[in-house]
């Protein structure tokens, strides 16, 4: 049996995996977007080469952006820091956007709209990236600043060349459309952040309402839901229920103190969590009692699980008290059962196990008399003489 205190390490590994999963997803999304962007850059560059009047920005800028995409792909595939790649992409593309906005008004009037439109689409893409990289407040300021610059630069250059405000009405329409898209993007980002915060609070409240704070197992309210699933399941084998109670727990509290008693409860919970089958649910029923639901398990299978748990506890080493034993009551879910009858049978079986000498499993169910398993030889060393 693994050491009882291995549970914190397992919990740490689970937490690390939970944090790493979004990072891997983000990396895959960036890789896909980079491959797609590389294809667009290559296609635009080839079309520009075949054009009668090539765009110098595409001729020079797109190969630079393509080199950036190749670097990003290598960086991501090597598993290196995401935040570095994000900021490099943001800086390079913001510089490319600024270059486009400066070059567009310097070209012939017929090309201003085409060049500026491409720049404003790029502005939308950079704005989306900014909401992925930075927090909402920072992203909003960046979007507002970039859009203001994107509007002011072309008109400043046009006015400096002597063009009137009505000389390029199409440019104004493109800018207004881009502004509307950015405003919608900002509202959606704000809503997403508020929605995520509200969802996080709701999940926290739900966790607090259905989790025992000492053992971090489902509490009695959560177990009611699991028991109801057994009661409403179809088929002949709805499942089994195990109720267990730590033997002589009052002696632990009296002899070692409530702090040690609380620590023992946490370690027992970790042991049960580790040993209960994946399809089962273990929770704290109250005090030193724990309840386990086993959907689809027959009484014999439930008895086997309970016996495995009994041995795991008896062979474990717990804080300052050495071994800890427990008594188990097992029952199966029968037709016509309700919460009271199902848990009552398990409780009576548990009482029989206690009365028969503790540290044993008693099964009660359809067609089975309440019978104790042969008394085991294990005795908790620290409690044997008490």
Number of domains in the chain: 2
Mean pLDDT value of segment 106-131? 72
Rounded to whole angstroms, the Cα distance separating 372 from 361 reads 6
**Domain contains 263:** yes
Mean pLDDT across 67-73: 90
pLDDT category of residue 14 using cuts at 50, 70 and 90: very low
Out of 160, 187, 209, a domain closes at 209
Mark whether 57 and 166 lie in a shared domain: yes
Q: Which residue has the higher pLDDT, 372 or 300?
A: 300
Q: Which domain holds residue 253?
A: 220-384
**How far is it, in rounded angstroms, from Cα 119 to Cα 117?**
5
Residues 73-107 have pLDDT tens digits of 999 899 888 888 888 888 888 888 888 777 766 66
What three-state secondary structure class fits 318?
A: strand
Residue 214 lies in a domain: no
% residues pLDDT > 90 (the chain): 35
**How many Cβ atoms from other residues are within 10 Å of residue 102's Cβ?**
14
How far apart, in whole angstroms, are the C-alpha atoms of residue 146 and residue 89? 16
Q: Which of 209, 233, 261 is the last residue of a domain?
A: 209
* Domain final residue, candidates 145, 178, 209: 209
């Amino acid at each position: 049996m693994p050491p009882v205190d291995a549970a914190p390490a397992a919990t740490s590994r689970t937490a690390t995996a939970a944090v790493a999963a979004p990072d891997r997803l983000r990396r895959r999304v960036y890789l896909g977007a980079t491959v797609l962007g590389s294809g667009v850059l290559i296609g635009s560059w080839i079309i520009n080469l075949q054009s009668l009047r090539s765009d110098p920005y595409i001729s020079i800028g797109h190969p630079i952006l393509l080199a950036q995409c190749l670097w990003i792909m290598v960086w991501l595939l090597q598993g290196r820091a995401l935040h570095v790649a994000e900021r490099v992409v943001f800086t390079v593309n913001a510089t490319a956007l600024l270059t486009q906005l400066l070059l567009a008004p310097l070209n012939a009037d017929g090309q201003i709209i085409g060049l500026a439109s491409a720049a404003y689409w790029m502005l939308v893409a950079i704005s989306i990236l900014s909401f992925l990289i930075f927090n909402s407040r920072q992203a909003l300021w960046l979007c507002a600043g970039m859009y203001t610059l994107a509007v002011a630069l072309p008109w400043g250059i046009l006015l400096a060349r002597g063009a009137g405000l009505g000389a390029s009405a199409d440019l104004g329409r493109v800018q207004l459309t881009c502004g509307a898209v950015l405003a919608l993007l900002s509202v959606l980002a704000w809503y997403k952040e508020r929605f995520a915060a509200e969802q996080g609070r709701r999940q926290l409240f739900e966790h607090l309402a259905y989790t025992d704070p000492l053992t971090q197992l489902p509490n009695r309210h959560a177990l009611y839901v699991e028991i109801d699933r057994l009661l409403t399941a179809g088929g002949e084998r709805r499942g089994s229920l195990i109720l267990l109670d730590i033997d002589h727990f009052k002696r632990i509290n009296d002899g070692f103190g409530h702090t040690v008693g609380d620590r023992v409860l946490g370690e027992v919970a970790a042991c049960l969590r580790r040993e209960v089958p994946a399809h089962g649910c273990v929770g704290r029923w109250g005090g030193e009692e724990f309840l386990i639901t086993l959907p689809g398990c027959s009484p014999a299978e439930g008895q086997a699980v309970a016996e495995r748990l009994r041995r795991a506890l008896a062979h474990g080493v717990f804080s300052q008290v050495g071994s800890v034993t427990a008594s188990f009551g097992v029952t199966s879910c029968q037709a016509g059962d309700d919460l009271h009858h199902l848990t009552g049978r398990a409780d009576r079986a548990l009482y029989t196990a206690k009365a028969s000498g503790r540290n044993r499993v008693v099964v009660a169910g359809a067609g089975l008399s309440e019978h104790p398993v042969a008394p085991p030889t294990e005795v908790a060393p620290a409690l044997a003489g008490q």
